[in-house]
Each structure stands twice: as structure tokens, then as C-alpha cells.
Amino acid sequence: MNNNSPQGAVSTPQVDIENDNSAAVTITAEQAGQRLDAALAAQLPQFSRNRLQSLIKAGSVLLGESKIVAVKYRVNEGDVFSLTLPEPEEAEPQPEDIPLSIVYEDDDLIVIDKPVGLVVHPGAGNHTGTLVNALLHHCGDSLSGIGGVKRPGIVHRIDKDTSGVLIVAKNDFTHKGLAEQFADHGRNGPLERAYQALVWGAPIGLKGTIDANLARATANRQKIAVVKADQGRHAITHWQLQERFGPEDKPALASLIECRLETGRTHQIRVHMAHIGHPLIGDQEYGAGFKTKHNKFEEPLCSLIANFKRQALHAGLLVIEHPRNGQIMRFESPLPDDFQGILQGLRQV
């Protein structure tokens, strides 16, 4: 309500845009007979008249289930128009000359040893400097149209601060074949994905399986959380103890775990290991409660862990069947230096 309206004048209600970029505008008696663009402009002052005219012409305004595309359409009292803003179109990623560590390459696929800090594909806050930008430069037009504009050739991903093996398709045939293998997660085929993780403490036993559904956390949509069995998406992680660190007669201070995925959910290993009480060393999101654990160690290990500001997770192994010739291909990546430094320090504890 406009409290500055002259006495006796009727003010027009103002409508807010909802979170889903939509709004419902009900025509008042005073607006009856007005042009549609004028009536909308009165209730949606956050938009210019020209912007509203463009939205009307684009079919973004409905009366009931009917699109109204005429800006001069005369409105009636009680008409309810729904306006839906189109999703903003993001710029097509451009080729960038970014160095790549190439493990293998042929006419159908390319295997990258992804370093820590490299984002896989463009997204919010990362529109340039991604693996996709680098691949477009390296592979040229052969990637265009594969897997969509934002993710050409990408069939799986690794978090920005996780290192290791990642495979990319160069054509539609290979993209389809690899996507089918990753969707199957090795249940009926040769696909293998193994990760090395340094975690706080050590799980009970030599190996185990974490079966816990995952979904976006309600309090923070950037994080993932374990949810009830009838909610979220099914997620299974198989783990095996590789090394245990600390005095033999006391609980382990840390351990090296190999994780193999039966499903591929966002942050799956990180959330699952935190869920069983053994978050990854350096994990700022899911291991915040363990951030002072490094004080248990002497120098230089104490400082190494304190300054390790990422999750200690590495995609060390990938096995696939080549979609073109059926050859079983095995790719491995050595641990990066910072991960290796902490590992060597733990072995001396």
C-alpha cells in the first residue's frame, strides 16, 4: 500500500516475484479496461514497461492456461495473470589455453589427471578457468554439442578440491557408451572407481559398507546431508582400511581408506565418512568439528595438516571398457604432493 497516495485516491497493489521466478497479478476494478502491459507495470514496478512488453510477446504471461501475447490486450476486473520469468541464459563456455595433465588420449576419449583447484564445468561463480574451457581449447570443435553446452563430453565429475583421474568423451557415440557404464556403477560391467581418503580415526573392522540416502541439507543448500531411507537418493559407499596411524595400543589417530562407489552422488564419500564419525582430514564443510585435531601431532605434521585446507580425497583408479573397441582400460593417478606429505608424516607417528 502506498501511504503517500492523495486522500481518496485508490492505490494499486504491488506484487513481489516469488522464489520460483513467478508472480500472480489480479486485476483491480480501477484497472479494468487498461492495456495488459500498463496493468502489469502498475503492480510490478520492479520491471520497466519495455521489459514487460518483451515478456508478454515471448509468451511468459498467461490468463488461466492461455498465453496472452498482445501488449494491447484489454484486461477485466478479476482477471488473474501469471507471469513466469525465463531462466537466464548463461554464456557458452569459451576455449581457454589451460595446461592439462593428459594420461591418455585417442580419437574417442581423453583421460585427465585433474589437479586440486580445477573446477570441472562452468557454474555459479566459475564461468571461466574450468576443465571444460581447457578441453574446448585442446580438442577444438570435436566436443561441441556433446553432453550439452555447459558440460561437453563430461560423463562424471570430481569436486574442485579433489584430485585424480577423470575421463571425457570426444563424440556422441563414446559419450553414450561411457554414460551407460557410469550409470551402471560397475554392477554388470567392468567399471571401477577407487578413491584414497585420509580420515580422522579409523572405522571398526577392515572393511565395510555405508548405505545411507543423501539429499540437499535444508539449512544450507550448498551442503549434502544423510536423510531417512524414504527420502533423498540412494547412496552406497564400500570402504576398506589400507593403513592405520597411531600407537597400536590406543585408538587410531587417523587412517588411509580406499572407497569404492556403488552410486555416484554429490559429496558422497565426504558425507558418508563423516556420517560414521570419520570425516576426511582437511574437509572444511563436513569435518568442521575436527578442525583442531592436528594439535595432537608434533611438528612438522601439525602444521602440514593445519594448512591443508581441502578434503584429503584422491580419485586414484578408473577402469572402463572402451566403447569403440571393447578394450578394458585401467588408469591410475599418483597421490598429489600435499596429500603424500601428510601421509608420510602420519606413517612416522
Q: Are 111 and 165 in contact (CB under 8 A)?
A: yes
Which cell is 75 given? 484486461
What cell numbers appear for 23 in the block? 508472480
Instruction: Say how many residues make up the chain.
Output: 349
* CA quadruple 107, 109, 113, 118: dihedral, nearest 10: 110
CB 103 within 8 A of CB 331: yes
How many helices (H) and strands (E) the chain has is answered by 7, 15
Contacts of residue 76, Cβ cutoff 8 Å, sequence gap at least 6: 27, 32, 33
Active site residue 20: no
Query: Which of the residues 159, 172, 211, 283 is marked catalytic?
Result: 159
**Per-residue b or e along 208-236, where b marks 16 or more CB atoms closer than 10 Å to that residue's CB:** eebebbbbeeeeeeeebbbbeeeebeebb
Question: What single string gives the DSSP state of each residue in 184-209?
Answer: HTTSSSS-EEEEEEEEES--SSSEEE
Radius of gyration, CA atoms only, the chain: 27
Residues classed as catalytic: 159
